[in-house]
Amino acid sequence: MKDIAKIVFSKNLEALLTKTGKTVSDLSSDLGISYSTVSDWKNGKKMPRGGSLQSLADYFNINLSSLLEEKPTNVIELSPATVKVPVMGKIACGDPIYAEENFNGYRYESPDTLPSGKLVYLEAKGDSMEPTIPNGSFVLIREQPEVEYGQIAAVLVNGDTEITLKRVKRQGDMVMLMPDNPNHEPYIITADNPARIVGKAIRFTQDL
């Protein structure tokens, strides 16, 4: 059964590469996966694991079934276009964490579902925004310097060295970064403890 699954997957992958004009090198570079691994997938020698399967489905903007089920190759339908949204580091949903500007690949989205503006994904870490934003989810951030009262924003604190995800509320001259989880304390912004809004949280997604 495993060999049959590999063969079915490799045929579907080859059909998708042909339809999109992509090569093994393109797939390797775009997804940050070694050339030899992608080549083994295409040649039916290996099967990708769950996370890699979802990355492939997102990359081609298709359902997982289009990778795993045997069907005529002309049945595989592709979106006319996808947009690569970069995944940049992690963002704290608890205590702020170091704002590492590390690039963690892309998530592939339909342009019809995306707002305008410069967009990045950040991976949430911590539970201070639960149940609104679960730990481990990918939060879509639209870069902008301000948000309206009560909206969730990615905010740089501690001299632009740490980043956190909170609701922004104001009381007079005081700005408060509020968690949704009542077990966490607000983060108070003052003249002596400045902060800078990076962007507005638009939505989140999760991988199973």
Give CA–CA dist 160/141, Å, rounded: 17
Neighbours of 123 (CB within 10 A): 16
Say which of 66, 128, 137, 200 is annotated catalytic. Answer: 128
Cβ proximity of 125 and 92 under 8 Å: yes
Cβ proximity of 169 and 151 under 8 Å: no
Cβ proximity of 197 and 143 under 8 Å: no
- Residue 87: its H or E element: strand 83-92
Of 95, 127, 123, nearest to 107 (Cα)? Answer: 123
Say which of 66, 90, 137, 166 is annotated catalytic. Answer: 166
Q: Is 128 a catalytic residue?
A: yes
- Residue 19: its H or E element: helix 2-20
Q: Is 116 a catalytic residue?
A: no
Catalytic residues: 128, 166
